[in-house]
Amino acid sequence: MADFLLGLDYGTGGAKACVINTRGQVLGFAFEEYPLIHHKPGWSEHDAGNYWQAACRLIKQAVAQAGINPAEIRGLAVSSALPSLVLVDSRHNPLQNAYNLMDRRATAEVTWLKETIGEPRIFQLSGNRLEDHPALVNLLWEKNNRPDTFAQIDKALTIDGFITLKLTGQAAMCYGNAAFYGVAYNIRQRKFDTAMLDAIGLDPALLPALYPSEAIVGEVTPAAAAETGLVAGIPVAAGQVDFNASCIAAGITEPGDIMSNLGTVGNFGLVHRNTDFVFSEVGRAMIHCAFTVDSANTFVTIPTTTTGGQSIRFIRDTFSQVEVETERVLGVSSYDLLNLQAQKAPVGSDGLLILPYLMGERTPIWDVQARGVLFGLSLNHTKGHVVRAMMEAVAYAMYDSFQLIQKAGLNINFPLVLNEGGAVSSLWRQIICDVFNVPIVLVKRRTGAPFGDAILAGVATGVFKDFSVAKAWVEYVDPIEPNPQNHARYQEYFALYKQLYQHVKEDFKTLATLRNKV
């Protein structure tokens, strides 16, 4: 009897599933996008009910494509983009739309926490900034703004935690995910601080049980098996942060390894064991969580710009009807068509500069009120210029954090590995290479995070003794070296990028006041 493993990942823009064998071959793969819901400025949601429906569809598609007997699946694991929040009642049904990582509504709760608890106390406990995106802050928003719904909450889950609950009936969370709950999570001791929860008025019973990623938290129930096409009894691991899953898929398993994704957000992550860095002033500008490999001792620091690949999706969905229709009729990727136009624009996009803060910004400026800016737009600029300028803007946003990592002196094992999302664009990879001024490579296998989840499932069930198979299986292609002339030119534009934000950051606050007037 053969052994197979199943991975399932939920990003901000869509979900993926894959089936692999014990040699790391991808036998089945399925993907589908889902819509982002923006009812109000600063809000970003998903239809939470669609998560489980998508799981049922994707699992069936991946298993059918693999041509395997579901009874031969030895284990599965789920990952998701963080922070996210799915509120369920005692029957495991979602109570509201789910929060995704771009949601920025809970500004009043942040102000209350700063005044009541204080940022230093929260930072020393959680190792992360007090912002409006951690799950506990959003949970406070629910308590303050939808008390009737809040009273019905049985558990506050991540997306992957919700899917694991639907699969097994068990509410669980891994150490990595817990960091994105923030505020009351003790990142050193890997537990929630009951005194802090009491101080902010949240019941610990709302939170799922904590586990290392590779722990088995339950088995597929008969009811879940009937809906997904699986068989009852398949072990399910505690899961992991989607970025960690991408790291595993890309062979990023050792301290010093570094990888970048251009999914809905744009980010890079560096694996390390330096607790001092997590709690340093430079570290305060970053997002930190436990890494999947050796989660008791290893961290991954993940500087993130809020709209990475989503910025190009925004251009596609809002301004590129011709490209979308061409894709529908001829099957040519609308993104490829936008890339072809962007390739015609030169370094610096003929003086067009963008601040890519379409949903506020995270690292390193942490400005919930920031919004997108097109600076220098002229009649000579084309859509291709705008697309390239947006790619350059995302690169500048990530480079802003990368400089801080370099100055902190953390060990980095180059090349920088690019993996999912917009990283498929050779133009965007060259831009990042030239802006960062470091060598880069691309992961050949495009399966991404669900492949890392399948490996996690293998480790959790003992099919693999450890995560070393990830590095053994990975293959890197398309190495790129930075162009010194391009880097020098980008440094000039980057300096203007930084200066431009300083000029308008107070105006963002004024704009927010005007925008929020009834």
80 and 122 housed in the same domain:
yes
Is the residue at 187 inside a domain? Answer: yes
401 and 471 housed in the same domain:
no
* Cα 492 from chain centre: 30
Residue 137: name the closest of 180, 93, 191, 174 by CA.
180
- The conformational region for residue 243 under phi > 0 = left, psi -120 to 50 = alpha, else beta, is alpha
pLDDT (0 to 100) of residue 518? 60
Task: Give the type of residue at 488.
Answer: A
Is the residue at 290 inside a domain? Answer: no
45 and 148 housed in the same domain:
yes
133 and 83 housed in the same domain:
yes
Residue that the structure tokens 């600076």 belong to:
375
167 and 309 housed in the same domain:
no
pLDDT (0 to 100) of residue 39? 84
Is the residue at 263 inside a domain? Answer: no
Task: Give the type of residue at 135.
Answer: A
Task: Note whether 313 and 320 are within 8 A (CB).
Answer: no
456 and 422 housed in the same domain:
no
Is the residue at 208 inside a domain? Answer: yes
Query: Within the chain, which residues score under 50 in pLDDT?
Result: none
Residue 420 DSSP SS3: strand
pLDDT, tens digit, 9 for 90 and up, residues 414-428 = 999 999 888 889 999
pLDDT, tens digit, 9 for 90 and up, residues 12-61 = 889 999 999 999 999 999 999 999 999 888 899 999 999 999 999 999 99
Phi, psi of 392 (to 5 degrees): -65, -40
Q: Please state the pTM of the whole predicted model.
A: 0.92
pLDDT (0 to 100) of residue 149? 95
Is the residue at 452 inside a domain? Answer: yes
Residue 159 is part of which domain span? 4-250+448-476
318-325 long-range CB contacts below 8 Å, 24 or more apart?
319/383, 320/383
Is the residue at 285 inside a domain? Answer: no
Task: Give the type of residue at 432.
Answer: I
Alpha-carbon radius of gyration of the chain: 22
Pair of tokens at residue 378: 């002229």
The structural domain count of the chain equals 2
421 and 452 housed in the same domain:
no
Q: What's the helix, strand, coil split of the chain in %, to 5?
A: 45, 20, 35
Contacts with 398 (C-beta within 8 Å, 6 or more apart), sequence order = 260, 266, 267, 268, 303, 305, 308, 432, 436
Residue 68 DSSP SS3: coil
Characterize 488-504 residue by residue with b for buried, 16 or more Cβ atoms within 10 angstroms of its Cβ, and e for exposed: ebbeebbeebeebbeee
CATH number, domain at 316?
3.30.420.40
Q: Which residues does residue 12 pair with via DSSP β-bridges, in sequence order?
A: none
429 and 465 housed in the same domain:
no
Q: How many CB atoms lie within 10 A of CB 64?
A: 14
